Amino acid sequence: MRTVQQSATRNFTYPDLTHGTKAWPTEAIAIATKQPISDESLRITRALQTTLDTEELLETFYKEIKKLISYTGLSYSNIPQGIEYTVGKIAPHACTYHLVIAGESLGELSFTRRKKFTDQETMIIEYLMCSLVYPLRNALMYKHALQMALKDPLTGVNNRVAMDSTLQREVELANRYGTPLSLIALDVDYFKRINDTYGHATGDCVLKAVAAAAVSSIRSTDIIFRFGGEEFIILLSNTAEEGALCLAERIRQRIQAAKYICNEAMIAATASLGVACLGKGENIHSLFSRADQALYRAKSEGRDCVRLG
């Protein structure tokens, strides 16, 4: 096992340096870069302002800093946004920073190489990170906005806009490479009765809980969408009939077994599910139609069951 040195995470709060001083290492940077500081800072800032893609931004920063400081790898982690990105090669010695701007956390950034960073080098790194924080915050805000545009605000699952583009893409890929693809249509049973009896606020609570139960049942490769109202669509890539039916039954059982306590009311909820598997050369409309027909057959045959289309 290798011992990683310099691995303690430091706070980098813009515009203050972690060394507790605002005295920028201007002479050190000028000597290291053989350029006026303003020129280097402006060059890096301009390079970082050319993209709002987080990975492209970090790769650009990696390349620009590498011109000034010798290091082998850069890694970035932002757990709330689900970002884990590494460029270059991770090495034994690391300088890791928790980036903060205006009280907002931007994640953690690590620089690594095979030998220890000097104090002068860490001061230069910290100075140059000031060129990164605002472009990084803009990229994160843009990424979050895109994600929110594709999410259902009530349940937190993907919305219909995301569904339309994703289904089309996955059907085309499955047809091109001959891989299995399945679709599950899910509808909450007697949902109108829940709304009429307990009110729409309670109905919304039940929808959120059912969506959570379904999400907890699917695999990381499966994608769930809210199609509208109380209906959800689940896309199962690389999954044939047997696996799709098994997963649909697991979802049904999980929803049935869950306890739904909304606005101090204990509510029973079940769901009907229809399953369809992509046929050779079949298009998205035909696949969706068969899943929908199977769903309505499940509802007409007693609800709280799974049917294959």
Sign of the C-alpha dihedral computed for residues 159, 164, 165 and 167 taken in this order: positive
- Distance in angstroms (rounded) separating the CA atoms of residues 283 and 170: 11
Sign of the C-alpha dihedral computed for residues 89, 105, 97 and 1 taken in this order: negative
Q: What six digits make up the tokens of 69? A: 């400081």
- Distance in angstroms (rounded) separating the CA atoms of residues 199 and 309: 34
Q: What is the DSSP letter of 274?
A: E
Q: Please check whether residue 42 is in contact with residue 153, taking contact to mean a CB–CB distance below 8 angstroms.
A: no
**Residue from 108, 230, 249, 282 carrying the catalytic annotation:** 230
Q: Which neighbouring-strand residues pair with 307? A: 274
Q: What six digits make up the tokens of 26? A: 């201007």
Question: What are phi and psi for residue 246, nearest 5 degrees?
Answer: -65, -45
Q: Please check whether residue 72 is in contact with residue 113, taking contact to mean a CB–CB distance below 8 angstroms.
A: yes
Q: Where are the alpha helices (DSSP H) in the chain?
A: 26-33, 37-48, 54-66, 119-129, 133-149, 160-177, 191-198, 200-215, 241-257, 284-300
Is 126 a known active-site residue? no
Residues marked active site are found at 230
